[in-house]
C-alpha cells in the first residue's frame, strides 16, 4: 500500500514491563480518494485482551487522523460478523453499518 503512494497512520500500545508491542491499529489514506480513510487491522495480543487496548489504540489513531487530516470526512472499516467485540467497539466509536460482503471457501483435500 505504501508503494502505491498511500499513507499509513499507526497507533500501538507497548507493555511498559517488557517493551513488547501488544496492540496496534492502522488507518490508510489514499491520495486517489481524498476525504476517505480506510481503517484496517486492529489487533491485540491474546494475553493482553480484555483491557480495552483495542478501543484505546483505535481511538488514538482516529484522533490523530482528525488532527493531521481534517479534510477526511469518512472512515471506512470492516469486520467479520462473528467478531462481536470489535463490532461493539466500532459502534461505540460511532461507526455505522454501510454494507455487507461475503467470502466463499472450498476446501480441497
- 73 part of a folded domain: yes
CATH code for the domain of 37:
3.40.630.30
Q: Please give the residue range of the domain that contains residue 73.
A: 2-92
- 80 part of a folded domain: yes
Rounded average pLDDT over 75-90: 91
Q: What is the pLDDT of residue 91?
A: 93
Q: Strand order in 21-29's β-sheet?
A: 7-14, 21-29, 36-44, 74-76
| C-alpha cell of residue 42 | 486492529
Q: How many domains does the chain have?
A: 1
Q: Is 71 helix (H, G, I), strand (E, B) or coil?
A: coil
- 58 part of a folded domain: yes
What is the per-residue pLDDT across 22-65, written as a single tens digit (0 to 9) for each? 999 999 999 999 999 999 999 999 999 999 999 999 999 999 99
Cβ atoms within 10 Å, residue 93: 14
Asked if pLDDT for residue 2 goes beyond 80, the answer is no
- 14 part of a folded domain: yes
Amino acid at each position: 500500500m505504501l508503494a502505491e503512494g498511500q499513507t499509513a497512520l499507526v497507533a500501538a500500545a507497548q507493555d511498559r514491563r517488557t517493551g513488547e508491542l501488544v496492540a496496534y491499529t492502522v488507518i490508510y489514506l489514499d491520495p486517489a480518494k481524498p476525504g476517505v480513510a480506510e481503517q484496517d487491522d486492529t489487533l491485540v495480543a491474546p494475553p493482553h485482551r480484555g483491557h480495552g487496548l483495542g478501543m484505546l489504540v483505535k481511538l488514538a489513531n482516529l484522533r490523530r487522523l482528525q488532527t493531521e487530516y481534517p479534510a477526511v470526512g469518512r472512515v471506512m472499516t470492516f469486520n467479520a460478523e462473528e467478531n462481536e467485540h470489535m463490532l461493539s467497539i466500532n459502534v461505540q466509536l460511532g461507526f455505522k453499518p454501510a454494507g455487507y460482503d461475503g467470502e466463499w471457501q472450498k476446501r480441497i483435500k
